[in-house]
Amino acid sequence: MQFKTIIDPFRIKSVEPVQFTTREERAAALERVHYNLFGLQSQEVLIDMLTDSGTGAMSKQQWAGMMLGDESYAGSTSYQKFEDTVKSITGFKHVIPTHQGRAAERILFSNIAGKGDVVPSNNHFDTTRANIEFMGAEARDLVIDEGRQPQLIHPFKGNMDPAKLRQTIREVGAENIPIVMLTITNNSGGGQPVSMANIREISGICREAGIPFFLDACRFAENAWFIKTREEGYAHKTPGEIAYEMFSYADGCTMSAKKDGLANIGGFIALNDDHLAVECRNLLILTEGFPTYGGMAGYDMEAVAQGLCEALDPHYLQYRERTVAYLAEKVTAAGIPIVQPPGGHALFIDAKALLPHIPAQQYPAQALTIALYLEGGIRSVEIGSVMFGKVHDDGSETPAAMELVRLAFPRRVYTQSHIDYVAEALEHISEVRDRLRGVKITWQPPFLRHFTAQFAPL
């Protein structure tokens, strides 16, 4: 008998108490942090869905690996294990360890990108974009049109539009495109996957034009799972086999081990080009560390090597996808509009549709994050006009295209009762939605304002 309940593929060995607060305490905390949830202290939060980055729970094998960590400066056994694992998963020739994803990006783009260059992607993640722009190059998003429509259901909304890529190559010339990237899964686009067919096609276009092709591989295991369950011809392959095929079409990748590395810190660049590997290692020594540890301790490399393998376990991936889908079903049944289909690592609530009485100038998604914290002690993040609105010189603003609230799922951290609680809090807010009010900004910094801006309720 195959039972249909998908259970957590682990039991719990060590627990971390959650911190309960009263509504009055949360109201006071909100006032103190000027209604910006980035200012809260972790003990003021009951369920923290701010990010899935570095917030996962490690397994007993990972903790055992921490004790095996070899802290030799050069040639440690922990590096050998790390290197062997990354090579066996990706097939790439060179493995360069960094302290997290953005360090990998910084080293790669410092070597290949410059003024006048264009780096296409489906959607660049914000640190990737910032590192490209810091080198004077342009980061260009070429996701398919379906990827920009929140309610539209499509199995691979993270795909890049091949026609837009060919057009970009014609327009700027292959010699001005140092690499083409694909972000798997497409984080900025809602955690949406990229199909194998699309990876193959984009790779083919790049090979034809002589442009190297890289993956931003942060959620490679979640992407492999979506290919297995949604793309014809992959149902009988293991996530590991699918991941290996994905990487086989690329010349290299950047990785944040804080995502599908199931670790709290770490990252790497992996690539085939011997010359570029030498250049990257030279810069690595300057800014991160010696090539056999880069930005990590020996014990970090042990935890990442083990975590990369655990992330490819089909029971883990099925549980992971199911957790997000479970919350999506509950809130959809309660009439709360979300980005469809739900992504691999997060649920995105469409605050513009939920709170039509709050205009974009009064930041409906920020108002929703505040209500969710006040009512339930749940921390989420605004992805709307606070984060992406364009502020003009005269102080006026062009709002973002979408007003979203992201609930990210830390890996292996919360159980079904936590998720039921989140659903209940959202249902309550939906019932009293007419009473929610917008906010105004009372202070803001010149850039990346969402981290430190101050608000007041209207």
Ligand X SMILES: *Cc1c(COP(=O)(O)O)cnc(C)c1O
- Interface residues with ligand X (CB under 6 A)? 53, 100-102, 125, 127-128, 183, 187, 216, 218, 256, 258-259, 267
What gap in Å lies between CA 91 and CA 84, rounded to an integer?
A: 10
Question: For residues 30 and 95, which CB has a smaller minimum distance to ligand X in the complex?
Answer: 95
Helices (H), 4-125: 23-32, 60-68, 77-90, 101-112
Pairing of strands 267-271, 252-256: antiparallel
Residue burial 377-391, b: 16+ Cβ < 10 Å; e: rest: bbbbbbbbbbbbbee
Give the tokens for residue 451: 């981290």
Give the residue with the Cβ less far from ligand X, 65 or 190: 190
Q: Count H helices, E strands: the chain? A: 16, 16
Cβ distance to ligand X smaller for residue 122 or 362: 122
Q: Which residues contact 335 (CB under 8 A, 6 or more apart)?
A: 430
Of 78 and 128, which has the nearer Cβ to ligand X?
Answer: 128
- In the bound complex, which residue of the shown chain has the CB atom lying closest to ligand X? 101
Q: Which residue in the block uniquely carries the two structure tokens 């973002």?
A: 400
Residue 165, amino acid: L
Residue (124 or 352) nearer to ligand X, CB: 124
130 in Cβ contact with 196 (< 8 Å): no
Query: Residue 59 CB, nearest distance to ligand X (Å)?
Result: 20
Nearer to ligand X, 26 or 450 (CB): 450
Residue 341: CB minimum distance to ligand X, A: 19
| Structure token pair of residue 164 | 């837009």
- Bridge-based pairing state of the strands 381-383 and 404-408: antiparallel
Report CA Rg, the chain. 22
355 or 381, CB closer to ligand X? 381
Q: Within 13 A of 104's CA, how many CA atoms are on the CB side?
A: 27
| Smallest separation, CB 42 to ligand X (Å) | 18
> Is the distance from CB of 64 to CB of 244 less than 8 angstroms?
no
CB of 236 to ligand X, least distance (A): 28
DSSP line for 130-155:
HHHHHTT-EEEE-B-GGGG-TT---T
Least CB distance to ligand X at residue 401 (A): 19
Closest distance of CB 253 from ligand X, Å? 11
* Cβ proximity of 20 and 432 under 8 Å: no
Of 189 and 291, which CB lies nearer to ligand X in the complex structure?
189
* Bond before 457 cis per omega within 30 degrees: no
* Closer residue to ligand X (CB): 132 or 227: 132
| Separation of alpha carbons 35 and 30, rounded Å | 5
Contact at 8 Å (CB) between 36 and 393? Answer: no
CA distances, 150 to each of 79, 167, 229, 338 (Å): 42, 25, 21, 8
Tell me the closest approach of the beta carbon of residue 375 to ligand X, in angstroms.
Answer: 29
> Which is closer to ligand X, CB of 82 or CB of 125?
125
Task: Give the residue with the Cβ less far from ligand X, 90 or 128.
Answer: 128
Among 251, 280, 272, 303, which residue's Cα sits nearest to residue 98? 280
Q: How many of the other CB atoms lie within 10 Å of CB of 452?
A: 13
C-alpha span between 157 and 340 (Å, rounded): 9
- To ligand X, the closest distance from the beta carbon of 48 in angstroms equals 16
Amino acid at 294: G
* Rounded distance between C-alpha atoms, residue 99 and residue 301, angstroms: 10
Query: Which of 130/174 has CB closer to ligand X?
Result: 130
Least Å from the CB of residue 271 to ligand X: 16
Give min distance, CB of 317 to ligand X, in A: 17
Question: Cβ 224 to ligand X, closest distance in Å?
Answer: 15
The CB-of-108 to ligand X minimum distance in angstroms stands at 11
